[in-house]
Amino acid sequence: MKASDLDIQTIDPSLYNEDLAPLKHKDRNWGAFEIFNVWSNDIQSLFGYTLAASLFLAYGLNGWAVMAAIILAGVIVMFLVNLTGKPSVKYGIPFPVMVRASMGVRGANLPAMLRAIIGIFWYGVQTYFASTAVALLLVALFGAGNGSTFLGLSGIAWISFVIVWLFQIAIFWQGIERIKHFLNWAGPLVYVVMVVLMIIVWYQAGSELLPAVSTIFSGDGERSGSSIAAFMAIVGTMVAYFAAVVINFGDFTRFVKTERQMKLGNLLGLPLNVAFFSFIALIITAGTLVLFGDALTNPADIVERVDSLPLTIVAALTFFAATVGINLVANFIPPAYDLANLFPSKISFKIGGLITAVIAFFVGALWVSVISQIGVPGFVNALGAVIAPFYGIIVVDYYLIKRQQLSMEELFSSAPGGAYYYVNGWNTRALLAFGGAALFSISTILVPAMSGLDGFGWMMGAALGGLFYYGLMRQYRMPLPAAA
């Protein structure tokens, strides 16, 4: 939507640019396939594979119970993102604009910047991990070099890191369409390679594979606590894995043509996709138990054991595509919009992405020598728990307080007395709800006595945020916006 489609007299330049403006339905070209690939790229990283494979081994549960827990988590996340995605399908606005309705036109910068900090940090870290795949390829082709290092990285590692960093900049600088094309290419390609690897492992393991699978599915491993607690811990772990995208899912659904296509993409991309990907991880893990005597959950370890140049090349390219894919989905697009929302008249989506990339360069470059050694990841994970209440606030505000009706003009207006102006642009009641719920969710990480709730901290924080917000806002009388 151009500025001319809004009431030009109500638009505040400090709240508006073309990237944040509502996107018309005729300008949207995403369907179920694109949403499916958002989720495919989100889980198909090195960490995603390792997580899926390790869940079958870590809790001592019967494999069928583990699979059921993983599928249940996919259903829960699907339900959560259907709620946060719907407003952006209807109005065509990204997350930082959507959250103005509940937090205020200025207060929206608080959740947006917290989400940006998390995204920028993990963008740098994932850029480093993607570079290890390129380094794997370069070492296989040209050797490891002389062994000298700078900031913990070899010459090959530095070259690989810069290549990945520049590659990602090249993609995003061409706009959201190029990002969409990369995701649509990377998601299916990674699946093809993973299925081929599964078939190879199955063939080489032969008749010993199914007994190995039966061993994993027997649930005879050591387990502390009840099987119900273990089951719920798996569910909580998987939901938390997707939590970064759940809050700002509107950043993607604003490009989707219809709500039906969004829901179909979520159905295919979450419970069904997660179940199939976990099945692949299970078969490959069982195969490594037969072939190597150890159940290997890290794909890089599998490639190292096989010691095959063709496999190394294919695996390196696959790991690279998968990790860049999740980086673009979870860690680039959100902070690009969030930074644009901070100073819309000066920062566009592209400039926000460039700022993200520059800061993330130093995060990734210092990951090995400094950042991974000083507990910064724990701090960022704590920030992830802190932002959980915003999910509940956004959902309760849109569905229960605003009754699914927003005014686009008011979202871009800072006129006192406006529907989303509240107190100097900040909704103080939303801040109180956020503060109370965030105190609880952060306690599940920092307070030892509450460590047993760690896996559920995000969901409980989100629920409390919504509950507190509803209690504070249901009697609040505010100007009623005109229905869009």
Mode of pairing for the β-strands spanning 149-150 and 153-154? antiparallel
Between 3.30.450.90, 1.10.4160.10, 2.60.120.620, 3.20.20.410, what CATH number should domain 3-473 receive? 1.10.4160.10
Please write the tens of the pLDDT for every residue from 395-413: 999 999 999 999 999 999 9
The whole-angstrom separation of Cα 16 and Cα 413 is 9
Give the pLDDT confidence score for residue 177 in this predicted structure: 87
The Cβ-side half-sphere exposure at 168, using a 13 Å CA radius, reads 33
Output the six-digit token pair for 386.
């802190």
Please write the tens of the pLDDT for every residue from 168-214: 999 988 888 888 999 889 888 888 888 888 888 888 888 888 888 88
Give the pLDDT confidence score for residue 4 in this predicted structure: 40
Output the six-digit token pair for 1.
């939507």
The Cβ-side half-sphere exposure at 483, using a 13 Å CA radius, reads 3
Output the six-digit token pair for 247.
């809050």
**In contact, 319 and 150? CB cutoff 8 Å:** no
**In contact, 71 and 239? CB cutoff 8 Å:** no
Residue ranges of the chain whose pLDDT lies below 70: 1-9, 218-225, 300, 307, 375-381, 451-455, 476-484
The whole-angstrom separation of Cα 344 and Cα 251 is 16
Give the pLDDT confidence score for residue 255 in this predicted structure: 96
pTM flag (> 0.75):
yes
Sorted by where each begins, the domain ranges of the chain are 3-473
**In contact, 430 and 466? CB cutoff 8 Å:** no
Q: Is 19 exposed, middle or buried (0-12, 13-18, 19+ CB in 10 A)?
A: buried
Give the pLDDT confidence score for residue 377 in this predicted structure: 55
